[in-house]
């Protein structure tokens, strides 16, 4: 501003056009007329393409095995939901014919070293809880919802629905008289509520799962790892354990 601006507009326009050509732009407008106000035309998808897209978006989910033996084989195989996760799977333990089944969420870090659920300090507290009601690991059936520990230590939302389906199917195959669910994830899977709302009551749960209906009495309680952090809740956990064994033979 304030000085003469001697600009050769022809040279400037030619320079700009040359720069656009170097950038690969060889046309300022489409060769065919276009209605810029019209709605975009949806791409045409032939049936074969639509089928391929559906197959990629929604992988087929095979039916779960109908016997406990076949199910446990499948659970440790390549078709299990967490088969591609890192680490070795930790499956169910104890006696599947026991009257009490215990469902936990995921293996703890210490469990990978021992190859079994409830290792380390958490396991010591868990064993004391069982001993307090006259039971041991051998006289109950212990099952994790996930056979491997997720990277974040909890079940991710995108896989939770399938994991819940698998866990409920496992319970339906075992048909225990009582089911103890430890922690929020197992409690939500069976009762639809977190432990804080589910505990204190016996929940008769009907598991149809495309087989003759199975009714299981569910007791929800705190996971031992939480009790280590909040010892004050041990008194409430003890009441849950008493409810679990009420009416059962030792």
What's the length of the chain?
250
Mean pLDDT of 189-211: 90
pLDDT score, position 160: 93
This prediction has a pTM of: 0.76
Q: Is 76 helix (H, G, I), strand (E, B) or coil?
A: coil
- C-alpha angle 102/78/88, rounded to 5°? 60
pLDDT score, position 154: 87
> Which tokens belong to 203?
């929940």
Per-domain residue ranges of the chain: 68-245
Mean pLDDT of 134-151: 96
> Which tokens belong to 55?
């197959």
- Is 1 or 228 the better-scoring residue by pLDDT? 228
Residue 233's alpha-carbon distances to 34, 130, 219, 238, in angstroms, are 71, 16, 16, 9
Give the whole-angstrom CA distance, residue 124 versus residue 12. Answer: 82
- Can you identify the CATH homologous superfamily of domain 68-245? Uracil-DNA glycosylase-like domain (3.40.470.10)
- Is 112 or 173 the better-scoring residue by pLDDT? 173
């Amino acid at each position: 501003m304030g000085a003469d601006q001697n600009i050769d507009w022809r040279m400037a326009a030619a320079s700009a056009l040359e720069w656009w050509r170097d950038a690969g732009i060889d046309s300022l407008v489409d060769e065919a007329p276009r209605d810029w106000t019209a709605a975009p035309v949806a791409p045409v998808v032939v049936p074969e393409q639509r089928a391929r897209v559906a197959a990629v978006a929604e992988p087929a989910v095979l039916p779960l095995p109908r016997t406990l033996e076949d199910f446990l084989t499948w659970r440790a195989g390549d078709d299990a939901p967490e088969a591609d996760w890192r680490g070795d799977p930790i499956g169910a333990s104890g006696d599947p014919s026991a009257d009490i089944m215990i469902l936990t969420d995921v293996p703890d870090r210490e469990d990978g070293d021992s190859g079994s659920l409830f290792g380390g300090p958490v396991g010591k507290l868990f064993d004391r809880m069982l001993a307090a009601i006259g039971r041991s690991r051998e006289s109950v059936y212990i099952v994790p919802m996930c056979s491997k520990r997720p990277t974040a230590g909890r079940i991710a939302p995108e896989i939770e629905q399938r994991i819940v389906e698998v866990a409920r199917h496992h319970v339906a195959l075992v048909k225990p008289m009582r089911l103890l669910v430890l922690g929020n994830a197992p409690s939500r899977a069976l009762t639809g509520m977190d432990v804080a709302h589910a505990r204190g009551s016996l929940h008769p749960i009907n598991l149809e799962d495309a087989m003759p209906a199975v009714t299981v009495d569910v007791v929800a309680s705190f996971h031992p790892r939480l009790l280590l952090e909040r010892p004050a809740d041990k008194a409430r956990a003890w009441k849950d354990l008493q409810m679990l064994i009420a009416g059962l033979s030792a």
